[in-house]
Structure 1
Amino acid sequence: MLSFIFKSKPNYVNFGLLVYRLALGISMFYHGYLKWLSGPEGLYKVGAMLAPLGVSGGYEILGTMAAFAEMAGGILVAVGLFTRIGSLMLISTLAMATTLSINGSFFSWDYPSQMGFGALMLFFVGPGRFSLDKAFFK
């Protein structure tokens, strides 16, 4: 039992990447889907969060772009297809979410930053063996 805990298990790395990709991808898809369900008013509110950064218009379009990036990036990461592109979509959205909430409490910026670092990890490591990337792009 102790050898399982303390010794490297390269055979399980790919399974761990699969589990993490599914968790991150499904979570991010759901966050984007909820934004999408909020309709034009909700998407406008999401885009309007950029006003403190000097963005002065196009809020509904920006909110739609954020929702799309989370949904499409989440799907790509979860299934492991064009994983690095999906990761970049998530990284950009989560970096902005972290930036916008950095002056709040720890719990307001902790979630988007941790999810962003997870997406960054997948960008560098790749999707692993149990992915469509591996099947299509050997």
Structure 2
Amino acid sequence: MIHFLLRSKPTYVNFGMLVLRLALGISMAYHGYLKFLSGSQGLYKVGAMLAPLGVSDAYEVLGTFAAFSELLGGILVALGLFTRLGSLLLAGVLFTATILHLDAGFFSWDYPSQMGFAALAIFFMGGGRYSVDAALFGVR
């Protein structure tokens, strides 16, 4: 047991990367899916959240882009297919969400910032051994 706690075997590391990818990817894909379920009015509201950043138009398009980034990025990260591209899509959306919630207190910006750092970590680590990237391209 002590060896498991103190050693960093590649199998353990790659399994940990898989768990992180699945948790972040599935969660974010579901968030994106729910945004699309809300229809054009819901997508408009998501885009309108950018108004404090000086964005004054194209709210529905921007909301659609955010939902698409979450859905596609989440699927790519969960599968480990083009993992770094998917994690960049997620990190961009989550960074923006963090900025938008800074004024609302710690518990408003805490979640998107932690998820954003997870996306950033996945960007640097890649998909790992248990990914489609590894199977198709030999990339770990």
Name the TM-score, length of structure 1 as normaliser.
0.97
Q: 2:93: which partner in 1?
A: 93
- Post-superposition shift, 1:11? 2.0
After the TM superposition, list the runs of 4 or more consecutive aligned residues in structure 1 that deviate by more than 3 angstroms. none
Give the gaps of 5 or more residues in structure 1.
none
Query: 1:45-100: per-residue Cα shift (whole Å, max 9, x none)?
Result: 00000001110110000000000000000000000000000000001000000000
Query: 1:92-115: per-residue Cα shift (whole Å, max 9, x none)?
Result: 000000000011111100000000
Say yes or no: does 1:36 pair with 2:36: yes
Q: 1:134: which partner in 2?
A: 134
Q: How does 1:3-14 map to 2 (within 5 A)?
A: 3-14=3-14
In the alignment, residue 30 of structure 1 is paired with which amino acid? Y
Q: 2:102: which partner in 1?
A: 102
Q: Distance in 2 between matches of 1:11 and 1:57?
A: 49
How many residue pairs get aligned? The number is 138
Give the gaps of 5 or more residues in structure 2.
none
Partner SS for 1:45: helix
Q: CA RMSD in A?
A: 0.8
State percent identity of aligned pairs: 69
Q: Distance in 1 between matches of 2:35 and 2:44?
A: 10
- Post-superposition shift, 1:2? 2.0
